[in-house]
Amino acid sequence: MRAVIQRVSHASVTVDGEVVGRIGKGFLALIGAAQGDEDADVEYIASKIAGLRIFEDDGGKMNLALADVGGAVLAVSQFTLFGDCRKGRRPSFTGAMEPGQAAERFESVVARLRALGLPVETGRFRAHMDVSLLNDGPVTLLIDSRKDF
């Protein structure tokens, strides 16, 4: 699994003119599942998201996690995180998990984050989503359960 984490002041997802997810301070988490991902990948991604200490403490150091600042997660499924652009100009998505299984893995990450006590909003799986955010910092991090980067 992969995730792109953006520290945000606020973020929202709109589908067909309807806001389906909205948070204040926290993380916008774009999450994609790869062929072969298992429960261990879900656990890795969820625990990393929950434990990231990228909010500033009183000393101005990135030292606080979501729970420390009362933050939330806006989780958005994004298979394009597995787009392979190494050959040609049109990305290949063969590394992405098929949609049915990917939806299950995505929902497992959301459930695990909630079990860890975090408020989580989501987009809508397989829908065309308009994502709006105010990146705080900006701070953007990449997480990969296979540690490819």
CA angle, corner 103, sides to 101 and 106, nearest 5? 110
Torsional class of 44: left (φ above 0), alpha (ψ -120 to 50), beta (otherwise):
alpha
Please identify which of the residues 55, 78, 106, 122 carries the catalytic annotation: 78
What is the C-alpha to C-alpha distance for residues 92 and 26, in angstroms, rounded to an integer?
Answer: 31
* CA separation for the pair 35, 15 (Å, rounded): 27
The answer to whether 79 is a known catalytic residue is: yes
Q: Indicate if 80 belongs to the active site.
A: yes
The SS3 assignment for 83 reads coil
Based on the residue annotation, tell me whether 106 is a catalytic residue of this protein: no
**Are the C-beta atoms of residues 24 and 72 closer than 8 Å to each other?**
yes
Active-site option among 35, 80, 101, 140? 80
What are the tokens at 53? 């200490």
Does residue 51 contact residue 68 with C-beta atoms inside 8 Å? no
Q: Which residue in the list 14, 27, 55, 79 is annotated as catalytic?
A: 79
Catalytic (active-site) positions: 78-80
